[in-house]
Amino acid sequence: MEVSSFLSKYENQITIFADYLEEFPDTDELVWILGKQHLLKTEKSKLLSDISARLWFTYRRKFSPIGGTGPSSDAGWGCMLRCGQMMLAQALICRHLGRDWNWEKQKEQPKEYQRILQCFLDRKDCCYSIHQMAQMGVGEGKSIGEWFGPNTVAQVLKKLALFDEWNSLAVYVSMDNTVVIEDIKKMCRVLPFSADTAGESPHDSFITSNQSKGTSAFCPAWKPLLLIVPLRLGINQINPVYVDAFKECFKMPQSLGALGGKPNNAYYFIGFLGDELIFLDPHTTQTFVDTEENGMVDDQTFHCLQSPQQMNILNLDPSVALGFFCKEEKDFDNWCSLVQKEILKENLRMFELVQKHPPHWPPFVPPTKPEVTTTGAEFIDSTEQLEDFDLEEDFEILSV
C-alpha cells in the first residue's frame, strides 16, 4: 500500500500521543478509567494507551441497507447504539481478555479479540451489529433510523444477548432505579447441563439439587453478568447531589462506564478527572469495514487515537445508564459491598440495592430465547418475530 493511500485511509486515526499529552493538566490528581486509576503527572502515556485500547464504534456509511431497504449509514441517528456497542464490547473484553489487556497498533492480538470485534461489524449476521440493534429496537417502539435513549439500548442488548451462545452473558437491566440481588442470582446461577437434569430449566435443576443434596453439596456455575442501571438523575439537568456517587461508579473494578450525553447526542463515558468526565465520541463517520480474505478484521479504525474528549459533569443530561460487569459471583458480591458502602450512604440515593424481589412487582422470570425456526442473530429479518419476546421489562414504575 502506498504511503499516501495509507494516510488517507487512516486520516482520522494517525495522531502522535505527544501531540495531545498536554490536553490533560499537569496535576497530582488521579484519573479514573473503568475501575483503574492513573496518576496524571507520571502516567500520562499509560493513561492514553488505556483509553485508546477501548474498542471505539462510530457512525459508519456504505454498509448493506438495514432490513434490505433501510438506511446504509447510521450518521445522525445511531450514536446511542454505537455507545451501547462500546459498553458491551468492554464487557466482552473483560470476559475473555481481562481488564488489564492492552491494545497496540499492528501488534498481533489474541484470537478472542478478533472474535469480539466481529460481533459488532455492520452486517446483519453479526450478533451486535447496527442492523440487529436497529431492528430489535422496533420491538421497543423505535422505528429504524430513530434515536434511542439509554434505557432502550439496554433493553435491546438484553434481548440480543439471548442469541449469543459464545459469550453466554446474563444481561440484567434494573427497573425503577432498583437492583434486586435475588433476581440477579436467580438468573446467573446455572448448573452444567447433565442427563439427569435434561428437560429442566437450570434454575429448576438448581433447586432440585439443593433440596435433595443440601445446599452445601452443589456449587452452581455463574453466568457472566452484564448489569445495566438506567437512571434519571434530575429533571432537566443533573442534580449536583448525585455527582459524587456517579463518579464513584467509575472507580469500581466492575465499571463499564456510562451511556449518556446530551439530548440526541450520545457519548460513552469511561472515566473522570476532577469534575470532568472523559468519553469516547461516536460522532465521526467512517466507511464500513468488513472481514478480509484471511478472515481477519483490520482494526485500525476501531480504536480512537485522537485527543480524549471531556465534558463537565454538570453539563450531562440527567438520563444515563451505568454499566457493570461481574465475571464471577464473587465480583457481584464485591460490587454489592461497594454499592452499600459508597452509593447507599448518600441521603438522596442514586439507586437502590435490595436483597428480595419487591412484592408489588410482577414475578421475575429470567429472559429466555424465543422459539424461532432459525437460530443465531440472522433470524431477526422481520419485525413479526419480535412479537415472541416477553415484554416484562416494559413494566416500569415511574412514580407513585
Q: Are the C-beta atoms of residues 168 and 224 closer than 8 Å to each other?
A: yes
Question: Is 249 a known active-site residue?
Answer: no
Per residue, what are the HEC states of 246-289? HHHHCCCCCEEEEEEEECCEEEEEEEEECCEEEEECCCCEEECC
Instruction: Output the pLDDT for position 25.
Output: 60
Q: What is the DSSP code (8-state) at residue 303?
A: S
Please tell me the distance from the alpha carbon of residue 289 to that of residue 2, in angstroms, as a whole number.
Answer: 19
Outline where the chain has alpha helix (H).
Answer: 3-9, 17-20, 44-53, 79-96, 111-118, 130-137, 150-160, 181-188, 202-213, 243-249, 329-342
Instruction: Output the pLDDT for position 23.
Output: 59
Q: What's the start-to-end Cα distance of the chain, in Å?
A: 63
Question: Is 79 a known active-site residue?
Answer: yes
Q: Are the C-beta atoms of residues 157 and 128 closer than 8 Å to each other?
A: yes
CB neighbour class for 129 (10 Å; exposed up to 12, middle 13-18, buried from 19): buried
In tens digits, the chain (400 residues) has pLDDT values of 444 444 344 444 434 444 444 555 666 788 999 999 998 777 788 888 899 999 999 999 999 999 988 999 999 999 999 999 999 999 999 999 999 998 887 788 889 999 999 999 999 999 999 999 999 999 889 999 888 899 999 999 999 999 999 999 999 999 999 999 999 999 999 876 543 444 444 444 444 344 444 444 456 799 999 999 999 999 989 999 999 999 999 999 999 999 999 888 999 999 999 999 999 999 999 999 998 888 888 888 999 888 789 999 999 999 999 999 999 999 999 999 999 999 998 788 999 999 999 999 999 988 888 765 443 444 444 444 444 444 433 333 333 2
- Find, among 135, 113, 115, the residue nearest to 124 by Cα: 135
Give me the catalytic one of 283, 299, 336, 357.
283
Please tell me the distance from the alpha carbon of residue 85 to that of residue 95, in angstroms, as a whole number.
Answer: 15
Q: Could you give the C-alpha distances from 285 to 73, 74, 78, in angstroms and in order?
A: 9, 9, 11
| Grid cell at residue 4 | 499516501
Residue boundaries of the structural domains of the chain: 37-191+221-354
Give me the catalytic one of 38, 50, 74, 79.
79
Cα torsion 145, 151, 152, 156 to 10°: value is: 130
Helix, strand, coil content of the chain in percent (nearest 5): 35, 20, 45
Identify the three-state secondary structure at position 36. strand
**Single-letter amino acid code for the residue at 196:** D
Chain center to CA of 57: 12
Instruction: Output the pLDDT for position 40.
Output: 79
Question: Is 203 a known active-site residue?
Answer: no
Chain center to CA of 199: 32
Residues in the chain: 400
Please tell me the distance from the alpha carbon of residue 144 to that of residue 134, in angstroms, as a whole number.
Answer: 6
Give me the catalytic one of 281, 304, 317, 331.
281
